[in-house]
Structure 1
Amino acid sequence: MTRGQERLFVLEASSGGRLFSVNPDGSDKKVIVSGCRIPDGVAVDVAAGHVYWTNMGVPAENDGSIERVDLDGGDRTTIVPSGGTHTPKQLHFDAVGRKLYWGDREGMRVMRCDLDGSNVEILVQTGQGADDQRDETKWCVGVAVDPAAGHLYWSQKGPSDAGLGRILRAGIDLPAGQSPAERGDIEVLFDGLPEPIDLEFDLAERTLYWTDRGDPPRGNTVSRAPMDSPDGPGTPEILVTHLMEGIGLALDPDDGHMYVTDLAGNIYAADLDGSNQKEILLLQGNLTGIARAVLPV
């Protein structure tokens, strides 16, 4: 059986905002769309032939949005209009439930919708109003879904270099009779983190990976931890260091690789244990989200 073409889809928040794709070795860069309003999170639905991304917009103006485009750049469509979400960050495509999930930073929410942008829901609400909005510990950034276990994971970044970041977990669906602001099923898996940003899973190995911004030695890193440890989450294992404001993370569990972006404009590849780290592209602008997909040939 012939394997398809592996591509990385990357967002650049500078230069007017662009979505581009490259081969896993950094070659054959192709700009798919431009004119994105500070794009941050990207996800690919290969079966439907779509790439989705979030636009943060101007955080003070509550004008975030989500767009979709065909794999070849055609049929660009806004599915969550400006103001339908405040400052959308990482985007997660749940292929099982056929939903999009995202963290809404200044909105202090975790949200989801159907793939056409309908049925927008708030699943978690960490604060309300301008005073809460100034509290960066309430800012929701990264998001990932574990359909088999029925769990939703997200990160709350915290202020820069404060060591107040957290990763939390709850059920995918809002418990009956409870509100997004008063859920009784929320677990704090990790706290005291530098600045956790994007989350990714190796579901076969039941392992959670994430990027952190912030100061070394624990910041500007990629870390991982077991998802189901009977003794609790334990101490994260730091895998990759010396990122320049690390943001995006994509995993290739089948071949044992990870791909990471940072705001300095670099894309890194490494093995899943952090070994064999190398730069595959340099100085590409302010890079944010990254996703990996195997496209049909």
Structure 2
Amino acid sequence: MTQRQERLFVLEASGGGRLFSVNPDGSDKTVLVTGCRVPDGVAVDTAAGHIYWTNMGVPSENDGSIERVDLDGGNRTTIVPSGVTHTPKQLHFEATDQKLYWGDREGMRVMRCDLDGSNVETLVQTGQGEDDARDETRWCVGVAVDPVGEHLYWTQKGPSDAGRGRLLTAGIDLPAGESPADRSDIEVLFEGLPEPIDLELDLVERMLYWTDRGDPPRGNTVNRSPLNPPDAQRTPEILVTHLMEGIGIALDPAGGHMYVTDLAGSVYAAGLDGSDRKEILVAQGNLTGIARAVLPTGARVR
């Protein structure tokens, strides 16, 4: 394939762990990588020609990692080695500062690093040690960054179907003299959510989108809210319902589309308001992260 093209990049946690790409209509499925250790979050840097993903590994073993390949699946490289991050989940590539951001579930952290895996930093620390790690309200999962507003957003999902999930925000950088565990600029945007997972931002319309895999009617949904909602509007707008354990979300703001994955193995396409929902892939294994990218002219997917 040699012409400029839009592709979706999807992770399958089952089947030995795979990264594959498809067209936005679900056609031309191409497996790029196999043998991933429970992959969860994926991000694409088209300018450099790289795809990044997180490997959860075995949560009890503190052996998570982050890997990278070229757009065609070649030159597979581990950039954040096993154990530097505990259980890395959803992943965000920020082109402005050339960083990767991710949630570390049992590590109870929001983290970032340079694109080569150097300069690993902890930005938020919600707990320490095994006792705290058993408290699922401390688990950080989804992450997104607003470089214009200089804010970081993340989810803390809470126990399964417990209605104790939260969505929080803070500055991208630590306030001077503070630590990740005691920073004073953290704000809770939403609490009492079923089980929020992945986050995406529409920076033009200043909207925040997220998946929630908790119990219906508010769970197994896609939701959105203004980035800075007035107190009177702090009720999420539910856009999509009846997902089967919804996980990943990717936006195409210019085209007016969203793409969503669930653990039952479906990839959904819909309008940004949730309209015209359709399944573009079904029965694909346990799907987790998804990313959308417009590939440069001449880029190849195997």
Residues 7-66 of structure 1 deviation map (CA, whole Å, 9 limit, x = unaligned): 000000001000000000000000000000000000000000000000000000000000
1:285 aligned onto 2:285: yes
Q: Would you say the 8 A contact 1:189–1:233 is kept in 2? A: no
- CA separation of 1:232 and 1:63: change in aligned 2, threshold 3 A: farther
Q: Would you say the 8 A contact 1:8–1:24 is kept in 2? A: yes
Structure 1 counterpart of 2:300: none
Structure 2 counterpart of 1:105: 105
Structure 2 counterpart of 1:188: 188
Instruction: Write the distance in 2 (CA, Å) between the matches of 1:196 and 1:4.
Output: 34
What root-mean-square deviation, in Å, do the aligned CA atoms of Structure 1 and Structure 2 show?
0.9
Structure 1 counterpart of 2:48: 48
- Residue identity opposite 1:268 in structure 2: Y
Q: Would you say the 8 A contact 1:227–1:233 is kept in 2? A: no
TM-score, normalised to structure 2, is: 0.97
CA apart distance, 1:214: 1.1
SS of 2:219's partner is coil
Instruction: Write the distance in 2 (CA, Å) between the matches of 1:264 and 1:216.
Output: 16
Structure 1 counterpart of 2:243: 243
In the alignment, structure 1 segments of 5+ residues that lack a partner are none
Instruction: Write the distance in 1 (CA, Å) between the matches of 2:232 and 2:264.
Output: 35
Structure 2 counterpart of 1:38: 38
Structure 1 counterpart of 2:141: 141
- Residue identity opposite 2:150 in structure 1: G
Instruction: Write the distance in 1 (CA, Å) between the matches of 2:290 and 2:233.
Output: 26
CA apart distance, 1:232: 6.2
SS of 1:74's partner is coil
- Residue identity opposite 1:105 in structure 2: R
Instruction: Write the distance in 1 (CA, Å) between the matches of 2:231 and 2:63.
Output: 42
Instruction: Write the distance in 1 (CA, Å) between the matches of 2:296 and 2:203.
Output: 23
Instruction: Write the distance in 2 (CA, Å) between the matches of 1:165 and 1:283.
Output: 28
Instruction: Write the distance in 1 (CA, Å) between the matches of 2:233 and 2:122.
Output: 26
Residues 42-94 of structure 1 deviation map (CA, whole Å, 9 limit, x = unaligned): 00000000000000000000000000000001110000000010000000000
What are the residue-to-residue correspondences of 1:210-221 with 2, within 5 Å? 210-221=210-221
Instruction: Write the distance in 2 (CA, Å) between the matches of 1:296 and 1:227.
Output: 30
Instruction: Write the distance in 2 (CA, Å) between the matches of 1:107 and 1:279.
Output: 34
SS of 1:170's partner is strand
Structure 1 counterpart of 2:295: 295
What are the residue-to-residue correspondences of 1:232-271 with 2, within 5 Å? 234-271=234-271
CA apart distance, 1:296: 1.6
- Residue identity opposite 1:215 in structure 2: D
What are the residue-to-residue correspondences of 1:108-123 with 2, within 5 Å? 108-123=108-123
Q: Would you say the 8 A contact 1:164–1:195 is kept in 2? A: yes
Instruction: Write the distance in 1 (CA, Å) between the matches of 2:6 and 2:99.
Output: 23
Matched residue count: 295
- Residue identity opposite 1:18 in structure 2: R
TM-score, normalised to structure 1, is: 0.98
1:163 aligned onto 2:163: yes
- Residue identity opposite 2:135 in structure 1: D
Instruction: Write the distance in 2 (CA, Å) between the matches of 1:63 and 1:9.
Output: 24
Moved more, 27-36 or 222-231: 222-231
Residues 128-173 of structure 1 deviation map (CA, whole Å, 9 limit, x = unaligned): 0111000000000000000000000000000011000000000000
In the alignment, structure 2 segments of 5+ residues that lack a partner are 298-302
- Residue identity opposite 2:51 in structure 1: V
1:176 aligned onto 2:176: yes
- Residue identity opposite 1:219 in structure 2: G
CA apart distance, 1:234: 1.2
Instruction: Write the distance in 1 (CA, Å) between the matches of 2:274 and 2:31.
Output: 29
- Residue identity opposite 2:188 in structure 1: V
CA apart distance, 1:4: 2.5
- CA separation of 1:179 and 1:194: change in aligned 2, threshold 3 A: same
